[in-house]
Structure formats: C-alpha cells, structure tokens
Amino acid sequence: AGAAMAEGEALVSVDYEVSGKVQGVFFRKYTQGEAKRLGLVGWVQNTSHGTVQGQIQGPAARVRELQEWLRKIGSPQSRISRAEFSNEKKIAALEHQDFQILK
C-alpha cells in the first residue's frame, strides 16, 4: 500500500435528490455533462414525483463541487428549490463505469 490518500482524494459515494423545476429542462443531461467534466461516476434519473435523483461517486473534493452545482446552478432553465444529500460513505473503489442517465 502506498501513502494514505489526502482527504480530498478519498473516494466517496453520495445519493442526491433535487427538487424544484428540474424536469423537462435538460437537467439530467447537464448533470451528466458536469459530472463527466469533474471525472465523477454515478447516475441521474427523473422520479415519478417531479424530482431528479441519483448517486455520485468519486474523489471527495470533486463530489463536493458537483454537490454545490446541484444545489445552486443546475441546467440553465431549471429552478432548484432544494438539493438533499444522503447515504454519504467512503468507498474503496468506484461502483460505476461512468455517469449515466437512467430512464
């Protein structure tokens, strides 16, 4: 084993759900694009109750960046009222190959 990873480099997994005007505004596509730009993996999907949910995995510092993006920015036409994060945990390895939009 090499040196311990810095805190910002530790891999984490976190679930998210974003409420507001987030369906029909390309929110999933923009989330996927932002996640890929940050080098993160996971997924995003619309829910039956009008929110967008998913999971993010990657280096903690990058995950924080996407959490901020989900909380404050989103897609250009979206209106985010709330972003909730849950089940955050450290993981030994990524559980997804890439960042997918699920139907």
Identify whether 28 is a catalytic site residue: yes
Considering the candidates 28, 62, 64, 79, report the single residue annotated as catalytic: 28
Estimate to the nearest angstrom the gap between the alpha carbon of 34 and the chain centroid.
9
Q: Is 87 a catalytic residue?
A: no
Q: In what order do the strands lie in the sheet with 11-21?
A: 79-90, 11-21, 52-59, 41-46, 99-101
Residue in 46, 62, 71, 79 annotated catalytic: 46
Residues 99, 32 contacting (CB under 8 angstroms): yes
Catalytic (active-site) positions: 28, 46
